[in-house]
Structure formats: structure tokens, C-alpha cells
């Protein structure tokens, strides 16, 4: 919510921590992720929506990642983030940050606990796969299954089960209606 919707302001140290550990999700830089997310909200359920459920469940879940993005969308939806030096730093060094924080840190923690392989298998790979699919389910499942207590102007739905696994993100109808709310 900090980067994609400017829901709140944060101290630069907090922003830095979010950006470093956000890279460990392997879901693109904050600049790219926020650009896609803002576009999704603006163009929800249309052909311009990057992960529109109207193109099918597979497309919304992760098929959209297999399609090359059109140049006209690059950085168009997050011009404010292009002026943020911390966001640009994370964007520039995104891949090294992913590797260091997403794999290096878990391997090191595994080493400290006596199992480098455990650090790789459980902390790194399992976490990455789990977090990816939970995020993807917000794009797909939460546009198909659930309730629409706030608005039926788009396909976003609230799912208490998905909310449990995604720290509240499963309340997707709420999120589409109250985009800047960070609760």
C-alpha cells in the first residue's frame, strides 16, 4: 500500500527495509509491481488490465507474466515513484537484492540452524512458491469466488479464507473499493 497506493507515508529507513525485503518476494521491483497494480485498478476487467480475469483463470493467476508487456505501459502508472531515489535504487539493483535477501539470507539462517539444505528448501523455495501463489490467487481466485459487499462494479470479491493466508489481502472487494486503506 505504501508504494502502490500511497496509502501512508513512511520514514526512509522503513521504506528501505520494505524495499529490501520486498525484493525477496521475487515479484518484480516496487516500481514495476506498483505500475502493474495501479493499472489493474484503473483498467479492472478490461483488455488493458494486465491480469484481467475476463481473459481466464490461468491468465489472471500467472499467465499474464508470460506475455511481453507493451512499451506504452512502461512506468506510465507510477510517475511519482520515478522521483523516489530509494525506489529507483531497488529497481536498479533488484536482481542482486532478490538473490541476496531471497536466497542468501535463508541459506545463512539454514547454516546457523545446522542445515543449509533446509534453509534453501524450506525457507527460500517453499516460501517463494507459497507467497507467489497466494499473490496470484488474489489476482485470480479473488476475482471469481467470494462476496461483493462494497461494490459490484468489477469482479473483485472478498474471501475470508484467502484473507487468512494473505494478511487481509483476500478482502479484495474492500481493497478495490477503498484502494488507499491499508488496514
Other Cβ atoms closer than 10 A to 106: 23
Give me the pLDDT at residue 80, please: 93
For 126-153, what is each residue's pLDDT tens digit? 888 999 999 999 999 999 999 999 999 9
For 85-132, what is each residue's pLDDT tens digit? 999 999 999 999 999 998 898 888 888 888 888 778 777 788 889 999
Q: Which long-range contacts (C-beta less than 8 Å, at least 24 apart) are formed by 143-146?
A: 143/45, 143/53, 143/60, 143/172, 144/53, 144/57, 146/170, 146/172, 146/173
For 10-45, what is each residue's pLDDT tens digit? 999 999 999 999 999 899 999 999 999 999 999 999
171 beta partners = 158
Instruction: Output the nine-digit C-alpha cell for 108.
Output: 545463512
Give me the pLDDT at residue 74, please: 79
Instruction: Output the nine-digit C-alpha cell for 3.
Output: 508504494
Distance CA 17, CA 24 (A): 11
For 71-89, what is each residue's pLDDT tens digit? 888 778 889 999 999 999 9
Amino acid at each position: 500500500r505504501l508504494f502502490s497506493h500511497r496509502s501512508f507515508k513512511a520514514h526512509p529507513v522503513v521504506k528501505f527495509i520494505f524495499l529490501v525485503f520486498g525484493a525477496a518476494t521475487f515479484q518484480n521491483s516496487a516500481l514495476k509491481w506498483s505500475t502493474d497494480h495501479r493499472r489493474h485498478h484503473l483498467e479492472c476487467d478490461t483488455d488493458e488490465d494486465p491480469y484481467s480475469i475476463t481473459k481466464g483463470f490461468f491468465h489472471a493467476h500467472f499467465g499474464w507474466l508470460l506475455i511481453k508487456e507493451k512499451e506504452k505501459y512502461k512506468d506510465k502508472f507510477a510517475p511519482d515513484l520515478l522521483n523516489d531515489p530509494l525506489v529507483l535504487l531497488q529497481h536498479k539493483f533488484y536482481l542482486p537484492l532478490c538473490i541476496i535477501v531471497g536466497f542468501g539470507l535463508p541459506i545463512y539462517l539454514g547454516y546457523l540452524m545446522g542445515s543449509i539444505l533446509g534453509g534453501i528448501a524450506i525457507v527460500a523455495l517453499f516460501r517463494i512458491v507459497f507467497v507467489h501463489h497466494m499473490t496470484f490467487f488474489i489476482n485470480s481466485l479473488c476475482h471469481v469466488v467470494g462476496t461483493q459487499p462494497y461494490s459490484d462494479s468489477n469482479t473483485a470479491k472478498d474471501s475470508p479464507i484467502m484473507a487468512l493466508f494473505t494478511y487481509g489481502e483476500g478482502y479484495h472487494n474492500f481493497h478495490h473499493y477503498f484502494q488507499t486503506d491499508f488496514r
